[in-house]
Amino acid sequence: MQNSELKIGDKIFTSRLFTGTGKFSSSALMEEALLASGSELVTVALKRVDAQNHEDDILKHLAHPQFNLLPNTSGVRTAKEAVFAAQMAREALETNWLKLEIHPDPKYLLPDPIETLKAAEELVKLGFIVLPYVHADPVLCKRLEEVGVAAVMPLGSPIGSNKGLRAKDFLEIIIAQSKVSVIVDAGIGAPSHAAEAMEMGADAVLVNTAIAVAGDPVRMAVAFRKAVEAGRMAYEAKLAKPSGLAMASSPLTAFLEEE
């Protein structure tokens, strides 16, 4: 029994678990965990080359046909910097897909909504498939949809916090009214959080820290894969509604007392 496929831009995904590549203790472990996760969309960051010190080539570890790369603009503080980073990313990785993230404050890494909207509008015009990382702000997500982003990526809770869906009430509104895909990004710390997001009707989740820093990242990747599949399947199967009153699931013929 298969879940429905997810289409974003020109790509079709069978896995609704997107993954980041940060914080793994080694590139080999990253590769193994990402393969185990079943992920088909994998984020990468950009950094300045150190000409004296040629480090490990991450692309070597991501050279699998199922991995589509999603470069991010982490490190930029303004829309102008984001557009420059996007153009560099497109050049470096030969993809017009972009995770737009503008978080000027390193302490909480919260995305700047004004710069993000400005950058998204310009990047869409430049032909990018834009997936913006945003606060769980339904109004902002609508505005981003209007300027032509391919999906929105609202946070569950702050990046790397592992706190789960603290923004749940607002994520529900975003999911209810969005015409583009909703990918819950940031804060997902456990497979149960991922399953919860999927049961709510999120189209996908993006997980990085929770897999990368787990005691066994490969097993954790599998756990997330199963949770995302289960959560999506539950959503498609239509969950039973919660009720304020008890509802018997067995017949209430009190047969023990009957003579």
State the catalytic residues. 99
Q: Which stretch binds other proteins (CB under 8 A): 38-46, 111-119, 140-148, 214-222?
A: 38-46
Residue 158 interacting with other proteins (CB under 8 A): no
Query: Of the two residues 138 and 189, which places its CB atom closer to other proteins in the complex?
Result: 189
d(CA 225, CA 206): 11
Three-state DSSP state, 69: strand
Name the CA dihedral angle for 195, 200, 203, 205, rounded to a multiple of 10 degrees: -40
Residue 30 interacting with other proteins (CB under 8 A): yes
Q: What is the nearest approach in angstroms of other proteins to the Cβ of residue 150? A: 19
Residues 6 or more apart in contact with residue 49 via CB below 8 angstroms: none
Of residues 59, 121, 124, the one with CA closest to residue 92: 59
Three-state DSSP state, 100: strand
d(CA 51, CA 25): 23
Joined tokens for residue 196: 């919860």
Residue 116 interacting with other proteins (CB under 8 A): no
Joined tokens for residue 92: 């470096």
Q: What is the nearest approach in angstroms of other proteins to the Cβ of residue 247? A: 42
Give the residue, chosen from 37, 74, 157, 178, that forms a contact with other proteins under the rule CB under 8 A.
Answer: 74
Residue 256 interacting with other proteins (CB under 8 A): no
Residues 192-211 that bind other proteins (CB under 8 A): 206, 208-209
Residue-level length of the chain: 259
Instruction: Name residue 97's beta-bridge partners.
Output: 129
Region of 24 (left: φ > 0; alpha: ψ -120 to 50; beta: rest) is beta
Residue 77 interacting with other proteins (CB under 8 A): no
Q: What is the nearest approach in angstroms of other proteins to the Cβ of residue 175? A: 22
Query: Of the two residues 47 and 241, which places its CB atom closer to other proteins in the complex?
Result: 47
Residue 114 interacting with other proteins (CB under 8 A): no
d(CA 35, CA 159): 23
Q: What is the nearest approach in angstroms of other proteins to the Cβ of residue 35? A: 16
Q: What is the nearest approach in angstroms of other proteins to the Cβ of residue 60? A: 9
Residue 163 interacting with other proteins (CB under 8 A): no
| Contacting positions for other proteins (CB under 8 A) | 20-24, 27, 30, 43-51, 54-55, 57-59, 69, 71-72, 74, 84, 87-93, 159-160, 206, 208-209
